[in-house]
Amino acid sequence: MLLIKSFLVRLKPKSALYFAIPFSIALAWIDRSPWTFLQSISIFSIALYLASALALLWERRKKTGIQCRICGYGDCTLLYKARRRNSKQIGSFACSSFDHAQYPDIYFCPECKNGFLSSLAHSLSTSGVAEEAKTAYEEVVDHTYIENLPYRYDTYRRFTERYHDILEGKSVLEIGSYYGAFAESARKIAGSYTGVELSRHACAFLKARHPDLNIIQGSVESLEGNPELDKKFDVIAMFDVIEHVADPIKTLSSLRGFLKPGGKILFSTINIESSFSMLLGPWWPWFMDMHLYYFSDRGYHTMLHRSGYFMKNHHHFPYRVSLEYFLTKVGSMIGIKNLSRIFPQTDMTMPIKLGDTVLIIGENASH
- Between CA 89 and CA 24 the distance in angstroms is 43
Kindly tell me if the per-residue pLDDT of 116 is higher than 60: yes
pLDDT tens across 9-42, in order? 998 888 888 888 887 888 778 777 777 778 888 8
More confident: 260 or 133: 260
More confident: 316 or 237: 237
Kindly tell me if the per-residue pLDDT of 89 is higher than 60: no
Average pLDDT over residues 89-111: 79
More confident: 24 or 255: 255
The pLDDT assigned to 216 comes to 93
- CATH classification for the domain delimited by 138-364, as one of 3.90.45.10, 3.20.20.70, 3.30.70.360, 3.40.50.150: 3.40.50.150
Beta bridge mates, 49:
none
The pLDDT assigned to 33 comes to 75
Nearest 5°: phi and psi at 310?
A: -95, 140
**Mean pLDDT across the chain:** 86
pLDDT tens across 238-250, in order? 999 999 998 899 9
The pLDDT assigned to 182 comes to 96
- Between CA 367 and CA 364 the distance in angstroms is 8
Q: Specify the DSSP class assigned to residue 67.
A: P
Average pLDDT over residues 289-309: 89
pLDDT tens across 47-85, in order? 998 999 999 999 998 889 999 988 889 999 999 999 876
pLDDT tens across 324-364, in order? 777 777 777 666 666 666 666 666 777 888 889 999 999 99
E strands, the chain, in order: 77-80, 106-108, 115-117, 171-175, 192-197, 214-217, 233-239, 259-270, 293-294, 309-316, 319-322, 349-352, 357-364
Q: Which amino acid is at 236?
A: I
Poorest-pLDDT segment among 117-131, 142-156, 266-280? 117-131
The pLDDT assigned to 88 comes to 45
**Can you give the C-alpha Rg of the chain in angstroms?**
21
